[in-house]
Chain A
Amino acid sequence: MSETIVEAPDSVARAAHLYETAKADSGPLGETLTLNMGPSHPSTHGVLRILLELDGEIVKRAVPDIGFLHRGDEKIAENMTYNQFVPYTDRLDYLAPLANNVAYALAVEKLMGWTVPPRGQVIRVICCELARISAHLLGMGALAMDCGAMTVFLYIFTEREKIYNLIELLTGARFTTSYTRIGGLTRDLPPGFVDQAKAFVEQFKGKIDELDHLLTRNKIFVDRNKGIGIISREDAIDFGLTGPNLRGSGVSYDVRKDRPYLNYSEYSFSIPTGSVGDAYDRYLCRLEELRQSTHILEQALRNIPGGPINVADGKGFLPHKDKVLTKMEELIHQFILVTEGIQAPVGEVYFGAENPKGELGFYINSKGGGVPYRLKIRAPSFVNLSILGKLLPGHMMSDVVAILGSLDFVMGECDR
């Protein structure tokens, strides 16, 4: 029997070798090709355009071009009350609208100096973790599909469908949830939600293993991702990367752990970090975060305290409808709140929350009154994409697709 030697292609070495030979070949006749990738390209996940200068198949220069989905959210925010802006946050990272709702509400609550009661906090944690699972699933499925594995994409959509059913039960909408209000939530948990969520979590553990088996040791997937798009620890911090993209580079930074908000400090969970900082490490971080989120969900669902879900501030939070219709005071408060909005103090705050894509921050500058004077959204996808110009050169054209998939960005949030 003859022995077959299977060559393990080391893609970094291969790319470096190709690049060196291409450089040696490019004499006076050498020429580069400018390739326009996007804004409507299957692997740009929305409307990202990258101008690539190619030498053969090697990227020599990459100039990202963003803004195709710019809607002027920050300008819009300056012209409406705090509560009116909640639906706009759905449309930032539209793969995790619940997490955006919570982050925005927390930012304004920081400005107001409010703390939501324990039950409201736990429900918000459940929202955030459901959103994280759903967003990470799509990120991984899209990465797998960009690397040629269609199956994973269909598998994860089965799971996301179940999460969407839960979200529909909870908020009445599947996609644009608008679930939070400043100081609380639109409604309490519906009957049956906890049991259904528990059932989902229970069966989802096996699904993570399935996903793990499909991808983690899949030779094609590993070859496409290992050693590709390496971000060094220093670069990751210097560029301000956050989320799994930063943790993939070995920096253990997670806002939930390091500056705990809601009641995250009460849960036991760990922060996975990578060792190399390549696309594969970023994938592994997301995979492990799925497990950790499931773990947090289990703890949260097991222990939901009773009591109110909204802050007890009669002049700040919309009173219950029964009281509005029967009591004078509440009617006045409702009228003022609806017409003028929450009366915020003068001051400025920055609040960052750990969203699936990274740290979603809101800088709110208030001159008092019901409308923010300036509201800046620090979008993690925007910051994470800013490293592209440095990251892509030296890679092969086909690696660009894997790198984009591994960065897991959403243009709705990047362009705002």
Chain B
Amino acid sequence: MPATDVISSLQKQFPGKVGQGKEFRDDWTVEIDREIIRGAAAYLKSEIGYNMLLDITSVDYFGDEPRYEVVYEFCALGGPRDQEHLRLKLKVSEDDLTVDSLVPVYQGADWHEREVFDMMGIKFNDHPDLRRILMWEGYPYYPLKKDFPLEGLPSDLPGEEGFSRRAPLEGGPFVAAPSNHPPKLGEAGTTLREPHAHPAEH
């Protein structure tokens, strides 16, 4: 398998920090130390030719220590190693939930890391814009943690950010102010809103 020589060259590059490669159903996985992830990714991208970061995700091994694991899926497009895949994993413990961000290496890491942060609360150092992405700003929980119940926990609805602020053009020519009385046609000073079910809303 071609991925084995990539793993051994990684081990040579970062001695003592890269674990043994494991194969399952033709997928190669290798566990690395948390500190070297950015270096390893840069090495994989520039020296090996794994130019695409397919996915970043995280797993919560609730009850184990270290509790979390961040999983990276690399892939090569074109070049001599076309279509090779490699999965890197690293452990993150509850007391220090930080990992170096990969945005400086792969721009595509941006949203993936935001999602990991949003769902499990793992923070990424040097991330340019680490905000929640699927849940709203100000949501108090990390829903993909194993100790978060499936049926959810009560929380405030999106406040400031979501609904309570005025719309940017409210009161202007195109946005009618919310009112209980629908405007009558032809009445001076009223604006008509688009109907709620517009044909162009596919």
Contact = CB atoms under 8 A, between A and B. Distances in A.
A344 to B, nearest CB: 11
B136 A67 contact: yes
Given A240-B106, A390-B107, A66 B134 contact: yes
Contacts, number: 111
A259 B83 contact: yes
Interface in B15-30: 24-25, 27, 29
Chain A, interface residues (CB within 8 Å), range? 35 or more
Nearest to B148: A75
A416 B52 CA distance: 22
Contacts of A363: 55, 57, 71, 73
A70 B158 CA distance: 14
A376 B55 contact: yes
A74 B198 CA distance: 32
Say what secondary structure dominates the interface of chain A: mixed
A66 B77 contact: no
Contact of A237 (B24, B51, B119, B168): B51
Contacts of B54: 240, 350, 352, 359, 361, 378
Say what secondary structure dominates the interface of chain B: loop
A27 B60 CA distance: 52
Contact of A75 (B110, B144, B200): B144
A372 B61 CA distance: 13
B111 A373 contact: no
Given A42-B198, A235-B107, A383-B108, A347 B135 contact: no
B55 A238 contact: no
A376 B60 CA distance: 12
B202 A70 contact: no
B78 interface: yes
Interface stretch (A33-41, A175-183, A212-220): A33-41
B150 A76 contact: yes
Interface in B59-110: 59-60, 71, 73, 77-78, 82-83, 85, 87, 106-108, 110
B55 A258 contact: no
Given A238-B52, A347-B25, A349-B25, 8 more contacts: A45-B202, A110-B25, A238-B107, A240-B108, A241-B108, A350-B73, A382-B115, A390-B107
Interface of B: 24-25, 27, 29, 51-55, 57, 59-60, 71, 73, 77-78, 82-83, 85, 87, 106-108, 110-112, 115, 119, 132-136, 143-144, 148, 150, 167-169, 198, 200-202
20 contacts: A36-B168, A42-B200, A45-B202, A66-B133, A67-B132, A67-B133, A67-B134, A70-B134, A75-B150, A79-B150, A111-B25, A240-B55, A241-B108, A348-B71, A349-B25, A350-B73, A376-B55, A383-B112, A386-B111, A390-B107
